[in-house]
Structure 1
Amino acid sequence: MAVRRRRRQGSEPLWLDDEAGRLVRPYTVSNGRTRPTAHFDLLTMVIATGKPPVTCQGPDYMQVLGLCGGPVSVAEVAAHIRLPAVVTKVLLADLVDCGALTARAPAQTPHGASPRTDRALLEAVLHGLRQRL
């Protein structure tokens, strides 16, 4: 029985198959590594530095760099490239190590203190949601 692979429409890479999904196993992308060299929270923001990566080559690295033109969270990158967060963190750490990305951890509140919320902002969001629904 022959397997027919079709390329998805748009900018989807060739290593995705319409019926089978991703043709490369997720941990192959990170060479089996499951621990990034730097700590990343899912809310850590990453952005491209503009420096071309010398050591980080390959379609997955280029795809990640393409997503990081502006500040983007680790969770967003993982969702866009359709890889587990831990694999995404390994790719991002590699790109930070070679200078192609910079990362900023989310702001921390002092232990025991509750984060301040802007009531006006929350009310504006609530009003916008009510209008949409």
Structure 2
Amino acid sequence: MPPEDPGQDPRADELHHDRLLDDHAGPMVRPYVMTSGRLEPTRGKFDLITLVVAIGLSPEGEIGLGPEHLAIIQLCQSVMSVAELTGHLNLPVATVRVLLGDLLDKGFITMQEPEPEADMHDIRLYKAVIDGLRAL
């Protein structure tokens, strides 16, 4: 058996391992590591109800894509909302938005943003609501 390094604490590996694990959450990888510290996507607004769909199949070995990017492409083989993606990936919505922005930039996904809210200053809208309530 090789002699132990006198400067090396034999518990160092165990202590290092404990810092990387959380009893309740399991292995921890901070979301900012996945996004390289970015908080906003480079393109796209990505509301929770924005619909996303992959263009083509998951690329193999694409430079700059992490496992989370590939998971998004796989999940988006059928249309999926940002909220659904966030739930499936178990990631914060801000992280998912940044990853979606990366995929949009590289042309791997397309998105459909929700329609803008109706003009709340349009009197015709209020009349239609009142007429609808009266019809009840």
Q: TM-score range by the shorter chain?
A: 0.5 to 0.7
Of the three residues 100, 106, 112, the one matched with 1:98 is 106
Residue by residue, what CA displacement relative to the aligned partner does 1:63-102 show, whole Å, maximum 9, x if unpaired? 1111101110111111111111111000001001100000
Tell me the equivalent position of 2:5: none
**Structure 2 stretches lacking a partner, 5+ long:** 1-10, 130-136
Greater fraction of residues in helix? 2
Q: Which runs of 4+ in 1 moved over 3 A?
A: 16-20, 51-56
Answer yes or no: is the 8 Å Cα contact 1:48–1:102 preserved in 2: yes
Answer yes or no: is the 8 Å Cα contact 1:47–1:68 preserved in 2: yes
The reply on whether 1:61 has 2:69 as its aligned counterpart is yes
Residue by residue, what CA displacement relative to the aligned partner does 1:84-130 show, whole Å, maximum 9, x if unpaired? 1111000001001100000100123421248x9xxxxxxxxxxxxxx
Identical amino acids, percent of aligned pairs: 39
| Bigger radius of gyration | 2
TM-score (norm 1): 0.66
The reply on whether 1:89 has 2:94 as its aligned counterpart is no
Root mean square deviation of aligned Cα:
2.7
After TM superposition, list the pairs within 5 Å mapping 1:110-121 onto structure 2.
110-112=118-120, 113=125
Distance in 2, Cα, partners of 1:19 & 1:67? 26
**Structure 1 stretches lacking a partner, 5+ long:** 6-15, 117-133
